[in-house]
Chain A
């Protein structure tokens, strides 16, 4: 016996079909009504348009998903997570935490929500919860070093050094170059009494990131912990005050990088631009500042920072219009007078002098004295320059910029004794190791200047082959290295180095030195008016506006 075939067109058939559909529908993962009330949005009317659009877009996405009967939990989690990331990026932490937590609850298999939530909880001091989030994230993506590194940090901070080391070692198995994991491992070694290992690890990291103050500080602490206090002191004292805390350890974290790239407000763009400027990434800085200018062309910091980036990029004429705008609308801001004055130094010294005088009248600051000193050198008046540099030093005795400028001005004035005396004073105040010891942990401009003096005013002392303070990179350092080699009689190397320097920065005094090396003569003097010594770009940037 067999069942009669069901004819779909019959009444019975239609009934059976309806039942099947209903059963299937009942078995399918049907959307359920979700009791989700998203956090309040920032007041839209006060936000910048671009930010408002960002929030509106992500909120609309969430609303659409919540209204969509076909949307799955993962869909809702995704939309919540995106909104959470935006809140996180704009530092609305309570709102971000709520969004991430909901997203992680609805889609526990998504690495990103747990990881970002752990990050956020770490920042607000909820270490236990953060640990759980990172453990979960690690279980989802065991190959990622980031959660392991943070688990290691948490373990170290709680005194569980063995566990910390295990986490960090595992992180390094996945990414042996991971700077943060290596740094954390060094701190763990230090905390667990293995200072020698920590010192070695920190030294290796410093070779890769020589400007990271965090590393220098930790190295000094490690040295101190084993009684090598003088070395520690030497390291700490060699760091210019301006550099402290400016350059942190750089370690890649793609999730956090994506997060920090999200904000588009003027404040965010300004921050991004400043960071780029300090890192010497001028095109990126200009891009960020131009975006700010498009939104807030009336803001002083926006126009000034853009001008600074343009000026440093050699586009002084473009910078000038922005500076003139700032001077017109914010006449009490000395920075614009100073920068415009610097721009006009050579093309219109008279106008430059007026601007720089005005800047000094507005603020009797080291920067303005330095600028006036530079102007005096341009008009071939080293005596006046020396006066300004001394004024700058009187106000800020530990300014490396001012010491460098003073030594150079005295040398240009032909008073090498005074210049060397000033250099000695600089080393007293900024006790980086003297050039002759070549032990400066991070050679600064003063060290290189001292090398120049040794190579030119005491050539006999330089006859012995010398180790340079570090690999020469800038034109100033390359030319200094050339002077040393020429003083040693190695003119072939000196010529090579001098050519490299001139390729980056052609100038008459450099050409003259090249000619001397060709004929087997060492450099005649340590400095010439056209020598360009690196000026700290940090000073040119408008300060951070917000905490």
Chain B
């Protein structure tokens, strides 16, 4: 019997509204009934990071891809610090003295964190977002050509660590008690852990439920600067190549041995297909209790590695309807996110794509089989005009329905911008879709002054930067400044924040949370990968409107243990530690 879904079963009137909004070639002129709420605070927050893509007229392919960054509580003080991934000067161009060379930056969050002050801030419409550059203070000196970053406590010492993907060798940075990072790549694995070529996204994930985070690294192309090619556009102008100018690479999988070191198991795990991967998202797509891996490939069929247990995987994207779009076309997939969009308890998929392709929304039927429903929503039609990279679902207006931000930026020059003399004519508007309670979407990015200036955006990551109970946003721009957007939400919508801590004292990446209340049910998964090259707030912030004020909270831990909590107070964060809840039915792992 077909399952009823309010989100995908759009009433004719609602559909008419959606299609009306989809007109005007991308950015509707009609005024929105929904108010956009993000305010840019980059400067006042003390963020002065500008991405260096290395572009000096050589059109190195890598220039147009990066970059991202991470939100993490580096020092364990309860707020989110910021790691920004930097590019580099490329080829024979003079990078200047080492002290002036671009490098990754670390910003410590110094925002006020008290409840009262956040309430006051809301009242006064001012911001207390404050970051200070602590790059030197923590001795960080990363000067490679960075792409992205994954966060996770790989050695279970309670401090969140980083895996940096780069052009060339990747780096595993161990967080030494919130004081500094230590490069432990060589000690923690064989040569494969550093990799080579061009890695993009990565994900820490406990694939076997042993309590230790394994690592999946997406490798994009067999590319280095020496192999860079000259490409030209349709009228003969120099242009960036496409991914098909290079051989696709194979991703890598590393098993955590249970002591903070990694064993390369790519081949034995059955990861045997190349693909120009850019984004990765992990989750239990078929509900069998095992965490699977979905990889968004650029101009090639995507991969869905179904976890068959014992660290073996079978690629089933094509059979499960998520390798290509609804008409059998492999798209240029970039960023990917997976959430329960229609509140039916399974993971749906959303991917960003090249201009003239829809961003694609795959609806999960509950058994891990997908249907492309992009064209039934504004998410698909509205995206045709732009090239999407980062994407992240988050509950911007805290109404319990997940909204969506899409970071856009072209890979082929816009002829109009080029004619206007734009030195980097790849800028595009970002999109912010508000979820109309499961009945459709409203794009509000175009109404926000903060989204007005165009950038070449790549990574995007949400997080509650000021701990005021709403989600703020970071956007990482290629050859542009990192942007910080504050969410000055003024709504009484109740919410609950959850930190899920496993028995080792670290964020329980992969945990599944189900909130059950008098009026409904909500399901969320904890992971820190954020769409494309980025890592997000490790806490879950959930609007309670669909379920009621005091829902019961069921957590399925990555080990398969199930616990419940009840009577948790709304409008505040809670730290749920594995082993301290009421025991629930054992899910286990088949």
Contacts and interface: CB of A to CB of B under 8 A. Distances in A.
A547 B353 CA distance: 12
Given A299-B230, A547-B412, A232 B26 contact: no
8 contacts: A97-B25, A128-B22, A158-B15, A158-B19, A244-B318, A267-B231, A398-B272, A546-B245
Interface in A121-161: 121, 123-129, 157-159
B325 to A, nearest CB: 9
A91 B413 CA distance: 11
Interface stretch (A233-241, A250-258, A380-388): A233-241
A187 B327 CA distance: 9
Interface stretch (B173-181, B188-196, B234-242): B234-242
B232 A125 contact: no
Nearest to A394: B267
Given A244-B301, A268-B234, A332-B226, A125 B245 contact: no
A89 B329 CA distance: 22
B235 A94 contact: no
Nearest to B320: A224
A47 B328 contact: no
B111 to A, nearest CB: 39
A325 to B, nearest CB: 16
Contacts of A125: 22, 25-26, 358, 381-385
B503 interface: no
Task: With a 10 A CB-CB cut-off, give which of B234, B242, B324 has the most chain A CB atoms.
Answer: B234
A547 B236 contact: no
B34 interface: no
Contacts of A232: 319
Interface stretch (A167-175, A213-221, A306-314, A339-347): A213-221
A214 B327 contact: yes
Interface of B: 10, 15, 19-20, 22-26, 226-227, 229-237, 239, 241-247, 272-274, 299-301, 318-319, 321, 323-324, 326-330, 332, 354, 356, 358, 369, 375-376, 381-385, 411-412, 415-416, 418-419
Contacts of B244: 543-545, 547
A43 B416 CA distance: 11
A546 B241 contact: yes
B318 A266 contact: no
Given A268-B234, A545-B231, A547-B242, A95 B329 contact: no
Interface string A257-279: 00000010111100000000000
Contacts of B319: 232-233, 236-237
A267 B319 CA distance: 35
Nearest to A246: B330
A245 B381 contact: no
Contacts, number: 163
B473 to A, nearest CB: 24
Given A125-B381, A546-B241, A159 B15 contact: yes
Given A125-B22, A127-B22, A127-B23, A547 B411 contact: yes
> Dominant SS at the B interface?
loop
B332 A547 contact: yes
Nearest to B414: A94
A46 B415 CA distance: 13
Contact of A545 (B241, B327, B376): B241
Contacts of A512: none
B315 to A, nearest CB: 10
Given A125-B382, A244-B301, A94 B232 contact: no
Interface string A36-49: 00001111001110
Given A43-B418, A125-B385, A214-B328, A265 B242 contact: no
A248 interface: yes
A92 interface: yes
Contacts of B25: 97, 121, 124-126, 129
Contacts of A547: 242-244, 299, 332, 354, 411-412
A242 to B, nearest CB: 11
A545 B242 contact: yes
Contacts of A218: 327-328
Given A94-B415, A125-B385, A128-B20, A47 B330 contact: no
A215 B327 CA distance: 8
Interface residues of A, number: 62
Contact of B324 (A95, A158, A187, A244): A244
Contact of B234 (A224, A241, A267): A267
Given A125-B383, A218-B328, A545 B232 contact: yes
A240 B580 CA distance: 51
A46 B318 contact: no
A266 B232 contact: yes
Contact of B23 (A48, A126, A217): A126
B454 to A, nearest CB: 14
Interface in A464-486: none
Interface string A522-547: 00000000000000000000011111
CB-CB nearest 5 A-B residue pairs: A217-B328, A125-B384, A48-B236, A547-B242, A245-B330
A397 interface: yes
A72 interface: no
B321 A221 contact: yes
Given A46-B236, A129-B23, A267-B234, A124 B384 contact: yes
A290 B319 CA distance: 42
A327 interface: no
A90 interface: yes
Contacts of B22: 125-128
Contacts of A71: none
A29 B549 CA distance: 73
Interface in A3-20: none
A266 B227 CA distance: 21
Contacts of A493: none
Contacts of A127: 19, 22-23, 381
A546 B412 contact: yes
Nearest to A245: B330
A92 B23 contact: no
A214 B329 contact: yes
Given A157-B375, A244-B324, A332-B226, A123 B384 contact: yes
B218 to A, nearest CB: 18
Nearest to B274: A396
B237 A46 contact: yes
Contacts of A121: 25
Given A124-B26, A128-B20, 5 more contacts: A233-B319, A544-B244, A545-B231, A545-B232, A545-B241
Contact of A43 (B327, B381, B419): B419
A365 B205 CA distance: 31
Task: With a 10 A CB-CB cut-off, give which of B232, B239, B244, B381 has the most chain A CB atoms.
Answer: B232
B224 to A, nearest CB: 11
A509 B327 CA distance: 45
Given A43-B419, A214-B327, A397-B272, A545 B245 contact: yes
B247 A365 contact: yes
A51 interface: yes
Contacts of A41: 419
B102 to A, nearest CB: 27
Interface string A179-213: 00000000100000000000000000000000001
Contacts of A300: 229
Interface in A489-547: 543-547
Contacts of B384: 123-125
Contacts of B20: 128
Nearest to A301: B229
A299 B245 CA distance: 14
